Amino acid sequence: MKPRFGRALLRLFAVQGSYNYERMLGLGVGVAEEALLRGLPADGSASPYRAAVARGAHFFNAHPYLAGLAVGAAARAEHDGAPAELVERLRAALCGPLGSIGDRLVWAGWLPLLSGLALAAISLGAGWTAAVAFLVVYNVGHVALRAWALREGWKHGVRVASALNNPILQRGAVLAGPAMACAVGVALPLAAQFLAASFGAWGRAVIAAAAGVGFLGLYFLPGRLTGLRLALGFAALALVAGWIWQ
């Protein structure tokens, strides 16, 4: 099974390559799952292999780093001879938990945590070393999470819900949020000081005023003003100011 696991894991890195609004990650998940389904009988147009591959490509949406949990569980259920309806319900039931836990653990925890630490280190003079360390640590963590999810899914099969109680997911998601907030809170003033070091007193005053206006705008106009609109507006003002200054 090791070669099959290796192929499935490699395919999971491209799980978003066929993303679309009809099946979301479904096609990518089906391609990854196919590597684990090759031991099923493939004779005839209604073979278990063909039916399992078709089911694997149905609608599915979750965090891409944890999609392997569904891939492994569904493939194991197919090998165990689970009814098609049970496999479909299993896939549908995993969408919400895997999406929620993955978002809190990775997008709202691991990624901004390491980004904040890297920014703080660069601001303190670490330079390219901090950037390289960020890339290495982040990718080691996310590859390990993908591999763990795939193996846990295969190990538990239709009882994969027990894997969701693993401390890696539960405690990690709980601790990642406060750790991220602390890291970003430390990084922001250090990065602001680092970036403003080349400006004079008046330039720093303008930056501070812009930051204050932006904060107030985001606070009092949450439905009309977004971070993207604010950034684009400030960029436009900076271009106009630079053109006038020249």
Helices and strands: H and E segment counts in the chain: 10, 0
- Average pLDDT value for residue range 150-173: 88
User: Could you give the count of Cα atoms lying within 13 Å of 177 in the half-sphere of its Cβ?
Assistant: 9
Residues 6+ apart with CB under 8 A from 86: 77, 158
Q: Which of 117-121, 140-144, 170-174, 196-200 has the lowest mean pLDDT?
A: 196-200
The predicted model scores a pTM of 0.84
pLDDT at 219 over 70: yes
CA distances from 116 to 48, 161, 218, 236, 244 (A): 49, 33, 21, 27, 35
Triad 116, 62, 64: Cα angle to 5°: 55
pLDDT for the residue 27: 95
200 compared with 79, residue with greater pLDDT: 79
> What pLDDT digit, counting tens, does each position of 92-110 carry?
999 999 999 999 999 999 9
pLDDT for the residue 237: 86
Q: Which two tokens stand for residue 9?
A: 């894991």
pLDDT for the residue 230: 85
HEC string for 49-108: HHHHHHHHCCCECCCCCCHHHHHHHHHHHHHCCCCHHHHHHHHHHHHHHHHHHHHHHHHH
- Average pLDDT value for residue range 5-17: 95
CA pair distance 14, 148, nearest whole angstrom: 17
Q: pLDDT band at 1, cuts 50/70/90? A: low
Residue with structure tokens 């991220």? 180
- Average pLDDT value for residue range 199-208: 80
CA pair distance 82, 57, nearest whole angstrom: 17
Average pLDDT of the chain is 90
